[in-house]
Amino acid sequence: MAKKEFKAESKRLLDLMINSIYTHKEIFLRELISNSSDAIDKIYYKALTDDNISFSKDDYFIKIEADKDNRILKISDTGIGMTKDELEENLGVIAKSGSFAFKKENEIKDGFDIIGQFGVGFYSAFMVADKVTVISKALGEEKGYKWESTGAEGYTIEDADKAEVGTEIILQIKPNTEDESYDDYLNEYRLRSIVKKYSDFVRYPIKMDMKTSKLKEGSEEEFEEVVEEETLNSMVPLWRKNKSELTKEDYENFYSEKHYGFDKPLKYVHISADGAVRYNAILYIPEKMPFDFYTKEYEKGLELYSSGVMIMNKCSDLLPDYFSFVKGMVDSEDLSLNISRELLQHDRQLKLIAKKIKDKVKSELLSLLKNDRENYEEFFKNFGRQLKYGIYSNYGMEKEVLQDLLMFYSSTEKKMVTLDEYVERMKEDQKYIYYAAGESNDRLDKLPQTELLTDKGYEILYFTDEVDEFAIKMLMSYKEKEFRSVSSKDLGIDMEEENKKTEEIKEENKDLFTFMKEALEGKVTDVRPSVRLKNHPVCLSADGELSIEMEKILSAMPNAEGAKAEKVLELNINHEIFESLKAAFENDKEKLKMYTNLLYNQALLIEGLSITDPVEFTNNICKLMS
C-alpha cells in the first residue's frame, strides 16, 4: 500500500497546527465532536430534502470510548460518513473543509448549525495522538475505508469493514511527558468535563460508558462497580428554548450549573435577536457581589458560543467595564471566528452584539429601579460604585448611559434617591444640586458647612464613596442643573444683604484676619468670615477645583503627593468666639495665635482630617481650662 504524502504546504501547516494554533490541547475533543455533529447534521439535512432517507433522532449519536490499557481513544458517530474520495480530499488536504463546501453546495444559510469552516480542526487530534485512524462508511456506499496517519509523513487509505454508515476516529494517545499528562485524555471524568465545557450544547447525544458504584441488588450496604452508558451533554441549550416555556427556576438552575455565582441572580434577561445580527443571550445581574469584584483579579466577560459550541470562557469585549458585574452567555452563528476558534477577528458583529447588550442591561436596570426599588437599592449597594467609576474613567463619555442609574443618600429624605428625583423636588429658587462629601452619612449630617442650605430647606446629596466627587466632576450637571459642593465659595444663594455685612466686617477686621492667616503659616490660603455657618464657630472650605475630600483621597494614593486643596478657614462672625478673637487681637497676640491654631485644628477634626500635632492641641485645651 503506497503511502501518500501530504502536500508540501500541508506538512508545514500540520506542524503549525500541532504546535501553535491552539493554546489548549483539550480542544481536540471539541473539534472532533463538532465534526461528528456536522456529519449528523448533514444526514439530517439530506433527509429533509430526499424522501428515500429517513431520520429518526434516536439513531443518531456520538460515542466516546477510552481504552486505558492500549491508550486508545475512539470517537465514533452515526453521521453521513466519508467516501474514499472524501477521505482523500477532506483529510488529505489541510485547510480543505468538506463542511464548508457542503454548506455552499446545498445553499444552507440559516438555522443550521454546521460548525466546520476552515478545514483544520481535525488535525488538532495530532496534538494528543501519535497516530490517527479514521474508519468511515459514507451514506449510500457499500464499502468502508480506513484512513491512517502518524502526522507529517503522510497518510494511507485502504478498504475496511464497516457495517454501519458513519465514522470512527481512533486516536493512539501519546505517552506522558514531563510537562504533559496525556493520560488525562483517557480518563472518563476528565473527558466528561471537557465535553461539558465545550460541547454541552451539541444537539446530538454524546455518550460514554461511565463506571459508577451502585448498591448491590438485594443488599443495603454492599456496593458494586457497574458500567453504565451516560449521555454527557445537555443538548438543548436553554437559550434556544422558547422563553414562554421556561420558568424562573430554569434560569436559576442554569446560573448555578454554569457557576456564574454561588448566589441567586437578582435579575435575568433572555434575548433572542433576529435583526442585523442573530444571537441569543442570557444575562444575569448577581444578587451578591463576588468576593473579588473590586480587585485586579476579577475578570469580566460573558461566555461566547458559536452555533452552540463554546468559543470563549470570558469574552470581555462583550461588556463595558462599568457593567462588569453582568454574568451570562451569548451564542451567535454570525461571528467571524479565527482559525483556532479561540479568538475572534475584529468583529463588527461582536461590536453590534456588545452595543445591544449594553443597551439591554441599562434598560433592565432602569426597569428594576422603577418597578422593584428594594432590589435596585440592593444592586446599587453592591455595584453602584462600578457605575460611578464608569462615569469617571470614560471622561464622562458614558454619562448618558449611566447618570439615570445613580443613587445617593439624601439629607432630607434620609434614604437613597436618584438625580431625577432630586431635580424634580428642587425648590423654585434653588440653583444647584448640592452635595457634601465625607466619610459617612452620620458625619455629613453634622457637617457645619451645610447649615445655611439646611436652613433654607435645600436637599443635599451625601457623597461617601471615594469616587463620588470625581465622577460628579465629569458629569458636571444633570438636567441642566449644575452640581455644587456645600463647601464651595459660591452657593448660588442670593445673599446680597449678608454679603454686604460680611464684607464690611471683613474690612473692619482686616488686620485680625491677616494675622490669623499668618499665624497658620501657609496651612490655609485664606481666613475669612463665613456666609454658610449659622451655629458652629468654624469650618474649612476650599477655593478652586480640588476639594478637601478629593485631597484626602488623592493623598492616600501612591505618587500623588502634592495634590493639595486650597483650604480656607471660615469663621462664624455671629458666634461669640469672634468677640474673643477680636479682644485677643487687641490685648494678647500670643493668645490669638493659640486660639487660631485651636480653631484650625477643630476644623480639621470636623472635616475628618488628622491634626499634625495632637499633643500641642491637647496641651492648649488644658491651658484654656486651667
Ligand X SMILES: Nc1ncnc2c1ncn2[C@@H]1O[C@H](COP(=O)(O)OP(=O)(O)OP(=O)(O)O)[C@@H](O)[C@H]1O
Measured from each CB, the residue nearest to ligand X is 98
97 touches ligand X (CB under 6 A) = yes
96 annotated ligand binder: yes
Contact 387, 404 (CB under 8 A): no
Place of cell 454524546: 206
Burial class (CB in 10 A: 0-12, 13-18, 19+), 317: middle
Out of 77, 200, 466, 469, name the contact with ligand X by CB under 6 A.
77
Smallest gap from residue 169 Cβ to ligand X (A): 6
98 annotated ligand binder: yes
92 touches ligand X (CB under 6 A) = no
Smallest gap from residue 9 Cβ to ligand X (A): 15
Q: Which of 123, 165, 173, 127 is nearest to 143 (CA)?
A: 165
Q: Which residues pair with 166 in a beta bridge?
A: 137
Pairing outcome for strands 144-149 and 155-160: antiparallel
Out of 120, 206, 444, 550, name the contact with ligand X by CB under 6 A.
120
Contact 194, 202 (CB under 8 A): no
Smallest gap from residue 315 Cβ to ligand X (A): 19
Place of cell 503627593: 561
118 annotated ligand binder: yes
In angstroms, the first-to-last Cα distance of the chain is: 113
Q: Which stretch binds ligand X (CB under 6 A): 98-106, 390-398, 561-569, 576-584?
A: 98-106
CB of 97 or CB of 410, closer to ligand X: 97
371 annotated ligand binder: no
CB of 76 or CB of 602, closer to ligand X: 76
17 annotated ligand binder: no
35 touches ligand X (CB under 6 A) = yes
Q: Which stretch binds ligand X (CB under 6 A): 117-125, 141-149, 181-189, 323-331?
A: 117-125
Out of 13, 28, 78, 121, name the contact with ligand X by CB under 6 A.
121
Q: Which stretch binds ligand X (CB under 6 A): 35-43, 51-59, 368-376, 432-440?
A: 35-43
Residue 97 is placed in which grid cell?
A: 473543509
Out of 78, 83, 90, 233, name the contact with ligand X by CB under 6 A.
90
Residue 515 is placed in which grid cell?
A: 494675622
- Those residues whose C-beta lies under 8 Å from the C-beta of residue 504, and which sit 6 or more positions away, are none
Smallest gap from residue 354 Cβ to ligand X (A): 24
**148-187: contacts with ligand X (CB under 6 A):** 167
- Those residues whose C-beta lies under 8 Å from the C-beta of residue 583, and which sit 6 or more positions away, are none
CB of 38 or CB of 188, closer to ligand X: 38
Q: Which of 357, 371, 363 is nearest to 326 (CA)?
A: 357
119 touches ligand X (CB under 6 A) = yes
Q: Which stretch binds ligand X (CB under 6 A): 95-103, 191-199, 304-312, 344-352?
A: 95-103
Pairing outcome for strands 278-286 and 265-274: antiparallel
DSSP secondary structure letters along 516-551: HHHHTTTS-SEEEE-SS-SS-SEEEEEESS--HHHH
Q: Which of 37, 621, 60 is nearest to 309 (CA)?
A: 37
| DSSP state, residue 556 | T
Enclosing H/E stretch for 560: none
Smallest gap from residue 171 Cβ to ligand X (A): 13
Residue 151 C-alpha from the chain's centroid:
41
Q: Strand, helix or coil at 604? A: helix
Q: Which of 26, 40, 28 is nearest to 202 (CA)?
A: 40
Q: Which of 225, 206, 200 is nearest to 214 (CA)?
A: 225
CB of 254 or CB of 305, closer to ligand X: 305
Q: Which stretch binds ligand X (CB under 6 A): 13-21, 91-99, 271-279, 572-580?
A: 91-99
82 touches ligand X (CB under 6 A) = yes
Smallest gap from residue 280 Cβ to ligand X (A): 21
Neighbours of 158 (CB within 10 A): 10
79 touches ligand X (CB under 6 A) = yes
Residue 551: what are its φ and ψ, rounded to 5°? -60, -40
- Those residues whose C-beta lies under 8 Å from the C-beta of residue 554, and which sit 6 or more positions away, are 546, 560, 563
CB of 105 or CB of 586, closer to ligand X: 105
190 annotated ligand binder: no
Q: Which stretch binds ligand X (CB under 6 A): 32-40, 208-216, 237-245, 543-551?
A: 32-40
**Cα angle 489-491-493, degrees, rounded to a multiple of 5:** 130
Q: Which stretch binds ligand X (CB under 6 A): 6-14, 113-121, 365-373, 385-393?
A: 113-121
Give the Cα separation of 99 and 108 in Å (integer): 11
31 touches ligand X (CB under 6 A) = yes
Smallest gap from residue 117 Cβ to ligand X (A): 4
CB of 79 or CB of 237, closer to ligand X: 79
Which residues participate in the annotated binding site for ATP? 31, 35, 77, 82, 90, 96-98, 117-122, 167, 341
- Report the binding-site residues: 31, 35, 77, 82, 90, 96-98, 117-122, 167, 341
Which residues of the shown chain bind ligand X in the complex (CB under 6 A)? 31, 35-36, 39, 77, 79-82, 90-91, 97-100, 116-122, 167
